[in-house]
Structure 1
Amino acid sequence: MPFINQLQHWAAARPHRPAVVVGTESLDFAALRDGAAGMGHGDRTLTIIDRHASTALAVEFCAAVAGGGVAAVLESTWPAALRASIAAQASSWAMTLPTPVPSDMGFFDGPPDSTFLLGLSSGTSGLPKAFTRSRESWRASFVHSVDYFGLAEGCITLAPGPMAASMNLYALGEAIHSGTTFVALPSFSPDAALAAIMHHAVTRLVLVPSVLGLLARRGLESGRGPGSLTSIVCAGSALPDTILEQARRWAPNARIDFYYGASELGFVAATRGTEPADAAPRTDSTTVESWGAPAAGRAFPGAELAVLGPTGALLGLEEIGSVYVRSPYVSNGYAWGDDGLSFSAATSGNQDAVQRSGQWFTVHDQGYLRGDGVLHLVGRAQDMVITSGSNVYPQQVEQALEGHPADGTVVVTGIADPIRGQRLVAGLVAGTLPMDDFLRACRERAARLPAHQRPTLYFALSRSPLSAGGKPSRTLLREWITAKGAHAQRIY
């Protein structure tokens, strides 16, 4: 199961408790159960859900995954042509699936090992990759995440990002599983999120770091506090210390948890709010330079971690390599778009190297383990910039260039260069500092870095280059720079 049997349970035990709230719309558990059961999607192989954030989306999602059904939820902000292409590809993929047998139909959870979700990677252009998940992968995740993040009776979760995003769909399922309330926004703005926090007495936030920064900054500027908020769960990209400090000033009584994972892997590692950021300096020769790589935390309950080198050898403590995980939370792999670079399993040789049974998986994030079991992330292998033969991780440079979170945001990437191979460039989004002052501050900080880690070009950005899920998109930044349009204006 993922959560349909639990929905049946809570519809009987807590029929009038709000289950899903989106804007002015609200459904209690009984209404959510009755609405989804009445749609009768359990006899379909695949249901493609293409609608704006609403309680109707939640109803259709529950209906689609009942029995042996599979759901694909499209992001409503993607262009219509892209959504149509995804729908066509998904329909073709569904033709390869077996027809559900009568015993797998109806409004209940289907077989644990059966597929229930066709997930989509976020992107800005081109057909996104699609991965599939078994019901058991979410069920196993719920068992641990509800306990780890402290979802208790009375919990009200706000996920202010798009409902179609993987982490927000999971938050919806997690709330249904635990019999608590899920709140979403018809459309995002910091003011709308702050208003929802107060109006619905939200106790828990689930969001990406960039959105947390926007909320905390706006809350401090406008004098609007966190209300009943006691828990903040952040994921999707590294949580900068500057945003963490800002969030703690805005919501001093809320526990801030961070977890590292991926749509394809599920939960990998996590840091509880009571633990320090713990970004220990690196000085050995396996690191690019001495710097504090952000801590992702220790292995999430039920998961095991290993770091492997390019040849598949198990690396020692504080040696940088690809982060692998073994857990019941991992997806089934790709339905389409598998290029072997984003998600892959360890080969039999790699498994021998770690000297453990079972299969290990990676999305090729780079990191290292310390003796205390804490995983530190350096960056994604696909984000790494190779300039004049030196490896540079953009995240490292961004951390070095950014000062106070209110000053502005830095996004670093590489663009093609005939001499260097790639040239390191930085995009700046000014905050409270005027752009000229922000640029000057960034260049002063860059001067303290090794030469190959200093951006050679700076661009003023019209807005932060974010994916549909609210994560920084270096691909989008490169597209803006290449287009030479209004989104990225060269300033140095």
Structure 2
Amino acid sequence: MPFLDKLKLWADERPHHTAVVVGSSRLTWAELRDAATDLLDARATTVLAEQNSVPFIERYVAAVAGTRRCAVLDPAWPGPMVEEVAARVQDSTTVTDSQLLDGDPASTFLIGLTSGTTSIPKAFARSRRSWQVSFDASIEFFGLEQDDRTLAPGPLSASLNLYALSECLYAGASFHTLDTFDVGDAHAAISHDGITRLVLAPTMLRLLSERGLAGDVDASGIRSIVSAGSKLDARTLEAARRWAPNAVIYEYYGASELSFVSGTRLAAGEPLDIGGTGIGRPFPGVDVRILDDAGNELEHGQHGNISVRSGMVSNGYLWGDDGQALRCLDGWYTVGDQGYLDHGTLHILGRRADMIITAGKNVYPHEVELALASVPGIESAVAAGAPDDIRGQRVVAGIVPAYGAVTATQLRTGLDGLLPRDKWPLQYFVMAELPMTDRGKVSRKVLLDWIKNHDPRVQPLG
């Protein structure tokens, strides 16, 4: 049971308390229950591809009642892609239940979409039981309370924000979001709605923190910040701590197909592992091992497949699985992310396909990027392996300065002590912007194409 039985409970106990807020629109628990009940129909599968809105939340709640299931698509996708995915996930089966209730825990609750190498995203299924287990674990780990007011300012089509909405409905805590992301609107929500908890990606956290400091936006009432998507860099953490001095900061690693894997809790003033790859200890209810491709457990400190065993793992793919996207190694599941365990802490190195082999040495661009992002004066960094006649590949890096000019000497000095010298980039490039795919994802391949074609967006750094 993901959250509907709990939603009915909150509507009975606290009918006039605020349940959800989207921009200037809001619904009480009773209003959300009644609106979703009025939207119930006989479709087994509902496909939503919409911007954030109160009607979106109402339709989402109705779409998972009973044994129904929902697929949430990114409204920014091209129209033909939305139509193709919608046609694939539609189910002609009808359902007869007419109440806002949770269905069989083993039944499919959500169809998730994740980008792949093909033009059509891969689709996987999550059961109601897996989400309930996830809620219980995340509420325990993040310390979510009923009196919390959570702001997740990003799009609800993104799994981070959709999960935050569902988690709050399960926990009985009010959920806030925006029609579209805007720094000023987010600051207004924090000031006027008494936001106590933020759920957002590191890039959004940096924007809110730095502009909040510049604009004297009071964030002292924020008790916790949950960040995911990439590891926090030193600049973002320092800005967040100055802006929200009373907040406990959580960051975690997970995958759509695996749910939560590991996380860390940083109390106010607690130091960050600057430039490091560590991302905390296993999540409650999650066992983590590092396995080789044959399923053999590796010793602590050895690199291999990050593999998990938990009740949160998805049911697998509906389409798009090439046999490598989600693998089961004797009961342990992996999406191919590489890492190692060190005294119980999980370290993330990245996908094996991204690994750079230079002069016989394995270098993961993720660890290079984390180190570079921790160098003062660096806004962001992208590392990749360029062809090299002698080494096979050589490590190159593109950087976006935070302010002013940056020199190669400054970068090398900043990396000293953060990254082994044999993993340092041999060439640096200043980027006018981040290399992005058509879908808006940072791409190492695009960076290499820019370098190869002497694109004016990258300039060699002497």
Deviation at 1:70, TM superposition (A): 1.1
Q: 1:442 is aligned with what amino acid?
A: L
Q: 1:412 is aligned with what amino acid?
A: A
Q: CA–CA distance in 2 between the matches of 1:37 and 1:476?
A: 47
Is 1:360 aligned with 2:332? yes
Partner of 1:305, secondary structure, is strand
Structure 1 residues 13-47: Cα deviation after superposition (integer angstroms, max 9, x where no partner): 11111111111111111111111111113x21211
Is 1:453 aligned with 2:431? no
Which residue number corresponds to residue 112 of structure 2?
119
Structure 1 residues 340-364: Cα deviation after superposition (integer angstroms, max 9, x where no partner): 3332111xxxx3xxxxxxx211112
Partner of 1:77, secondary structure, is coil
CA RMSD of aligned residues (A): 2.8
Preserved contact between residue 191 and residue 217 of structure 2 (Cα < 8 Å): no
| Aligned residues between the structures | 458
Identify if the C-alpha distance between structure 1 residues 71 and 438 changes in structure 2 by more than 3 Å, giving closer, same or farther: farther
Is 1:16 aligned with 2:9? no
Which residue number corresponds to residue 377 of structure 1?
348
Partner of 2:77, secondary structure, is coil
Q: Which runs of 5+ in 1 are unaligned?
A: 281-291, 352-358
Q: 1:379 is aligned with what amino acid?
A: G
Identify if the C-alpha distance between structure 1 residues 424 and 90 changes in structure 2 by more than 3 Å, giving closer, same or farther: farther
Q: CA–CA distance in 2 between the matches of 1:136 and 1:321?
A: 29
Is 1:302 aligned with 2:274? no
Identify if the C-alpha distance between structure 1 residues 405 and 185 changes in structure 2 by more than 3 Å, giving closer, same or farther: farther
Q: CA–CA distance in 2 between the matches of 1:461 and 1:126?
A: 27
Deviation at 1:8, TM superposition (A): 1.1
Which residue number corresponds to residue 6 of structure 2?
6
Partner of 1:295, secondary structure, is coil
Preserved contact between residue 161 and residue 199 of structure 2 (Cα < 8 Å): yes
Preserved contact between residue 220 and residue 250 of structure 1 (Cα < 8 Å): yes
Preserved contact between residue 208 and residue 471 of structure 1 (Cα < 8 Å): no
Is 1:243 aligned with 2:201? no
1:342 to 293, 317, 325: 325
Q: CA–CA distance in 2 between the matches of 1:75 and 1:320?
A: 34
Which residue number corresponds to residue 167 of structure 2?
174
Q: How do 1:423-442 and structure 2 match up within 5 A?
A: 423-431=394-402, 433-434=403-404, 436-437=405-406, 441-442=410-411
Structure 1 residues 32-91: Cα deviation after superposition (integer angstroms, max 9, x where no partner): 1111111113x2121110111111111111011111111111112223333233223323
Which residue number corresponds to residue 459 of structure 2?
490
Which residue number corresponds to residue 251 of structure 2?
258
Is 1:44 aligned with 2:43? yes
Which residue number corresponds to residue 56 of structure 1?
55
Q: CA–CA distance in 1 between the matches of 2:374 and 2:140?
A: 35
Q: CA–CA distance in 1 between the matches of 2:191 and 2:441?
A: 25
Deviation at 1:471, TM superposition (A): 7.2
Deviation at 1:274, TM superposition (A): 3.2
Partner of 2:138, secondary structure, is helix
Q: How do 1:276-315 and structure 2 match up within 5 A?
A: 279=273, 293-315=276-298
Q: CA–CA distance in 2 between the matches of 1:480 and 1:163?
A: 33
Is 1:78 aligned with 2:68? no
Structure 1 residues 101-142: Cα deviation after superposition (integer angstroms, max 9, x where no partner): 54x553211100000111112579822221110000111111
Q: CA–CA distance in 2 between the matches of 1:89 and 1:479?
A: 34
Deviation at 1:378, TM superposition (A): 2.2
What percentage of aligned pairs have identical amino acids?
A: 43
Partner of 1:437, secondary structure, is coil
Which residue number corresponds to residue 192 of structure 1?
185
Q: CA–CA distance in 2 between the matches of 1:376 and 1:265?
A: 17
Partner of 1:210, secondary structure, is helix
Which residue number corresponds to residue 401 of structure 1?
372
Q: CA–CA distance in 1 between the matches of 2:397 and 2:368?
A: 9
Q: Which runs of 5+ in 2 are unaligned?
A: none
Q: CA–CA distance in 2 between the matches of 1:180 and 1:422?
A: 51
Q: CA–CA distance in 1 between the matches of 2:447 and 2:11?
A: 46
Q: 2:242 is aligned with what amino acid?
A: R
Structure 1 residues 453-472: Cα deviation after superposition (integer angstroms, max 9, x where no partner): 3142514132574997x975
Q: How do 1:196-235 and structure 2 match up within 5 A?
A: 196-235=189-228
Q: CA–CA distance in 1 between the matches of 2:411 and 2:449?
A: 22
Alignment TM-score, normalising by the size of structure 1: 0.85
Alignment TM-score, normalising by the size of structure 2: 0.90
Q: CA–CA distance in 2 between the matches of 1:28 and 1:481?
A: 54
Identify if the C-alpha distance between structure 1 residues 160 and 191 changes in structure 2 by more than 3 Å, giving closer, same or farther: same
2:299 to 309, 316, 319: 316
2:176 to 183, 191, 207: 183
Q: CA–CA distance in 2 between the matches of 1:306 and 1:6?
A: 34
Q: 2:21 is aligned with what amino acid?
A: V
More off after superposition, 215-224 vs 203-212: 215-224
Preserved contact between residue 358 and residue 393 of structure 2 (Cα < 8 Å): yes
Identify if the C-alpha distance between structure 1 residues 40 and 485 changes in structure 2 by more than 3 Å, giving closer, same or farther: farther
Identify if the C-alpha distance between structure 1 residues 446 and 54 changes in structure 2 by more than 3 Å, giving closer, same or farther: same
Q: CA–CA distance in 2 between the matches of 1:121 and 1:484?
A: 32
Preserved contact between residue 20 and residue 28 of structure 2 (Cα < 8 Å): yes
Preserved contact between residue 290 and residue 297 of structure 2 (Cα < 8 Å): yes
More off after superposition, 253-262 vs 182-191: 182-191
Deviation at 1:446, TM superposition (A): 6.0
Partner of 1:296, secondary structure, is coil
Which residue number corresponds to residue 32 of structure 1?
32
Which residue number corresponds to residue 143 of structure 1?
136
Deviation at 1:485, TM superposition (A): 5.8
Q: CA–CA distance in 2 between the matches of 1:386 and 1:420?
A: 8
Identify if the C-alpha distance between structure 1 residues 416 and 264 changes in structure 2 by more than 3 Å, giving closer, same or farther: farther
Identify if the C-alpha distance between structure 1 residues 417 and 60 changes in structure 2 by more than 3 Å, giving closer, same or farther: farther
Preserved contact between residue 204 and residue 229 of structure 1 (Cα < 8 Å): yes
